[in-house]
Amino acid sequence: HADYGLLERVLRLEGRAATEEELKLAHTEEHVELMKLTRSLPGKELYRMQEKLNSVYFHNNSYEAALFSAGSVIEVVETVLNGTAQSGVAVVRPPGHHAETDEACGFCLFNNVAIAAKSALDSFCLKRILILDWDVHHGNGIQRMFENDPRVLYISIHRYDYGSFFPCSSDADSKCVGQNAGEGFTVNIP
């Protein structure tokens, strides 16, 4: 806030659109192409498309907004990793943690955090990443994308209600701890 000089103490970054190559770090080509279609479909078609998904809203500008959301998260991560900033926060919409590899979910078209994490692992040759997901909802998309990857420790603090709270999946239970090489690298705290 202006009274505390906050804006003078932070580095404000320009948002940027994610590239299709970056989106495909976490999503299938089919999913990216389907989301791209939202730019030109008439309202009735968008409505039919979103009705097939779990809690998703589409508009002709949804794809562009999601590109900037994902790209801006990548930009913040890269700014920290290249030493320009010590820490960072990306305030973006639409959110991302519900988006699956091949499907939009929970108002999330692309999984911003997963895309940024995979980009960082590749571009900066990182050995490990911690993702702390503190939200009333479990980040089902992030968990599924990394549940086999021992380089990513995913911790989710969320409401569970024995699987009855959105996204209504037993994957959000504390007993789900990752799989195969990623076993022990998923921590659910309902």
Tens-digit pLDDT profile for residues 131-148:
999 999 999 999 999 999
Residue 158 is which amino acid? Answer: H
Residue 39's domain comprises: 1-126
At 32 the pLDDT is 99
Q: In the numeric block, which tokens belong to residue 160?
A: 């569970």
Read off the pTM.
Answer: 0.95
Q: Give how many domains the chain has, as a whole number.
A: 2
Average pLDDT, the chain: 97
At 144 the pLDDT is 98
- Domain identity same for 164 and 74: no
- Domain identity same for 120 and 163: no
pLDDT in tens, 39-94: 999 999 999 999 999 999 999 999 999 999 999 999 999 999 999 999 999 999 99
- Domain identity same for 42 and 91: yes
- Domain identity same for 16 and 73: yes
- Domain identity same for 138 and 120: no
Beta strand residue intervals within the chain, DSSP E:
129-134, 152-157, 186-189
The rounded Cα 160 to chain-centroid distance in angstroms is 19
pLDDT in tens, 100-118: 999 999 999 999 999 999 9
Q: Name the active-site residue from 27, 31, 98, 137.
A: 98
Reply yes or no on whether the pLDDT at 178 is more than 90: yes
Per-residue pLDDT band for 2 (boundaries 50, 70, 90) equals confident
Which of 109, 126, 143 represents a domain boundary (last residue)?
126
171: CB partners within 8 A, 6+ apart:
138, 140, 143, 144, 188
- Domain identity same for 104 and 178: no
- Domain identity same for 54 and 137: no
Would the CA dihedral through 58, 103, 21, 18 be positive or negative? positive
- Domain identity same for 1 and 95: yes
At 90 the pLDDT is 97
Q: Is 98 a catalytic residue?
A: yes
